[in-house]
Amino acid sequence: VKLQDLPTPCAVVDLDRVEHNVERFSARARRLGVRLRPHVKTHKCLEAARLQVEGHFGGITVSTLAEARCFAHGGFTDITYAVPIPTDRLAEAVVLARRVDRLNLLVDQTTTVEAAEEVARATGSSIDLFLEVDSGGGRTGVDPESDDGVRLAQRIAASSDLELRGILTHAGQAYDCRNRDAALEVGTLERDVMTGFAARLASAGVPVQEISVGSTPGFAAVGDLAGVTEARPGNYAFFDAFQAAIGTCTLDEVAFSVLVTVIGVYPRRREVVVNGGALALSKDPGPVHVDPDCGYGVVASAYGTRPIHTLRVVALTQEHGVIRAAGELDLHQLEVGTRLRILPNHSCLAAALHDRYWVARDEKVVGEWRPVRGW
Ligand SMILES: Cc1ncc(COP(=O)(O)O)c(C=O)c1O
């Protein structure tokens, strides 16, 4: 099968680029001296995860219990579910934990810790926990400056039904960066906040073994992770238009794209409409802090994936993508039936809308990956 034969819209994964990206971050983890526990939420499929862990200890990070179950079934035995565990899924997590060597759950609330202790006691099991720390992202995690975080760590450590495996953070503010220098600062801050908090815990009688950090922009830029034990970048397997805009990768490294077809040409508006809307690309506003006119992704040639910077995806509805030309619309190059490739702003969200990815090498389809869906 060739790319030309695929029905559109469809998700295409460039295998050469995935292999290159995985090797790039794998080498970085070795150079920085940390264990790599890649996040698999971007692609959610076994094949890509197996490439990511090659040469490493084999641990992965997941964003749903559905992923944890699927990857456990696929042979992964050391899994961190890196979203605070909802109390109504604790019992299910305990059952799943019995099938693997290690299932780490994330907590930052006393109520959740108490619920976990109750479930552990009722089921005669011990639950492995990471305490989440807010290193400036402002989403979840305990405040590393407050005493509450130390008390919660002590509460977990004192429980005979719970194991405090370590502390974990995701400095999500790395996505507000405009360039690599700014991401280097975030990556360094993330390290310092975590090693500082670990030192506070140690002096409060709770030494922790694992210090886990990680985002793709921070990990790509940071120069030194002394004191940190593991990193969890994930987006790098595919990268996307956002990462290219903030300097984490080049457009040539973006491995995930959506193949679309022109379904209407409107020369007076200098626009064409393609069959890739919000349900094929996702509606992530993208790196507007770097380029306010970035639109909903980068338009590229269907074959060869060469960026066409004079075209912008200016609007999306459910099944329509509106592409506007900066100058005259070239009616010969963009007629009904013309195919284009869109590199979405956020590959994690765009990929999650597709129930299969066509895997291509040199424009030839060499495989088909089926991601896990749901929660
Ligand atoms: C807790 C956690 N760890 C790691 C990651 C991976 O970061 P990135 O998507 O920048 O690779 C994420 C991403 O959202 C996350 O939420």
Note the pTM of the prediction, 2 decimals.
0.97
For residues 74-79, give the mean pLDDT: 98
N-to-C CA span, the chain:
32
pLDDT tens readout for residues 11-46: 999 999 999 999 999 999 999 999 999 999 999 999
**DSSP label at 140?**
S
| Ligand 1 centroid from CA 186, angstroms | 14
pLDDT-based confidence at residue 329 (cuts at 50, 70, 90): confident
Mapped onto helix, strand or coil, the DSSP state of residue 52 is: helix
- Ligand 1 atom with the shortest distance to the CA of 236: 11
Report which protein residue has its CA nearest ligand 1's atom 7: 215
Residue 330 has pLDDT above 90, yes or no: no
Question: So what's the pLDDT on residue 44?
Answer: 98
Distance CA 274, CA 186 (A): 38
CA of 109 to the centre of ligand 1 (A): 20
Q: How confident is the model at residue 332 (pLDDT cuts 50, 70, 90)?
A: confident
Instruction: Using alpha carbons, list the distances in angstroms from residue 153 to 110, 129, 333, 344.
Output: 10, 10, 61, 40
Q: What is the mean pLDDT of the chain?
A: 97
How far does residue 138's CA lie from ligand 1's centre (Å)? 14
d(CA 250, CA 240): 9
How far, in Å, is the centroid of ligand 1 from the Cα of 211?
Answer: 15
Residue nearest atom 2 in ligand 1 by C-alpha distance: 170
Nearest-angstrom CA–CA distance, 368 and 365: 8
Over residues 130-178, the pLDDT tens digits come to 999 999 999 999 999 999 999 999 999 999 999 999 999 999 999 999 9
Nearest atom of ligand 1 to the alpha carbon of 168: 1
Ligand 1 shell residues, CB under 6 Å:
39, 61, 82, 170, 214-216, 232-235
Give the whole-angstrom CA distance, residue 172 versus residue 218. 9
Per DSSP bridges, beta strands 78-84 and 10-14 are unpaired
Report how far ligand 1's centroid is from the alpha carbon of 133 (Å).
14
C-alpha to C-alpha distance for 128 and 90, rounded to whole angstroms: 12
- The atom of ligand 1 lying closest to the CA of 348 is 9
DSSP 59: -
* Gap from CA of 295 to ligand 1 centroid (Å): 23
Q: Which atom of ligand 1 is nearest to the CA of 132?
A: 1
Please state whether the peptide bond connecting residue 287 to the residue before it is cis, i.e. omega within 30 degrees of 0: no
CA of 106, closest atom in ligand 1: 1
Q: Is pLDDT of 328 > 90?
A: no
Atom of ligand 1 nearest to the CA of 214: 4
